[in-house]
Amino acid sequence: MSDINEQQHAVTKDGELRTDKVEETMDRISDDKKEKILQDFDEFKKYLHKRIKIGESIGLGEEQLAKVAEKVAGYLAANEEPRNSEEKLLQELWKVGDEDQRHKLAHLLVRLAQSS
């Protein structure tokens, strides 16, 4: 992986977490792939599960995973319409929560995806 390529990712090959790159990374997902992931909540959980397993394999702990989940959730709440009732509920909870509540919800999303 080149330095230019690595600078575009939220997690570097050395396991450094760059939460400022999460939105940029999300923007690079094709519309077709994004639609497939978001259309079905089980598919969304599977996608999160795979990403969490990758994060765990490079040494990210639950707090780091929750920080990424928090950034992803914020991005989705601001940029994507919910495709199903579960996503709608998550979006509504996100909107009414304060910073601490959103962080706790991100931890819950990580745990939900880990158990999938």
% of the chain surpassing 70 pLDDT = 84
The secondary structure element, H or E, covering residue 46 is: helix 41-57
Average pLDDT over residues 83-101: 96
Instruction: Give all domains of the chain, ordered by start, each with its CATH number.
Output: 3-114 (1.10.760.20)
Q: Are 92 and 59 in contact (CB under 8 A)?
A: no
For the chain, give the mean pLDDT. Answer: 85
Burial pattern 76-106, b for ≥16 Cβ within 10 A else e, equals: bbeeeebbeeebeebbeebeeeeeeebbebb
3 state DSSP class of 20: helix
Give residue 42's pLDDT. Answer: 93
73: pLDDT confidence band, cut at 50, 70 and 90?
A: very high
pLDDT the model gives residue 103: 97
Asked if 47 contacts 35 with a C-beta cutoff of 8 angstroms, the reply is no
Residues 48 and 10: their CA atoms lie apart, in Å, by 15
Tens of pLDDT, residues 3-43:
334 445 566 656 666 767 777 888 888 889 989 999 999 99
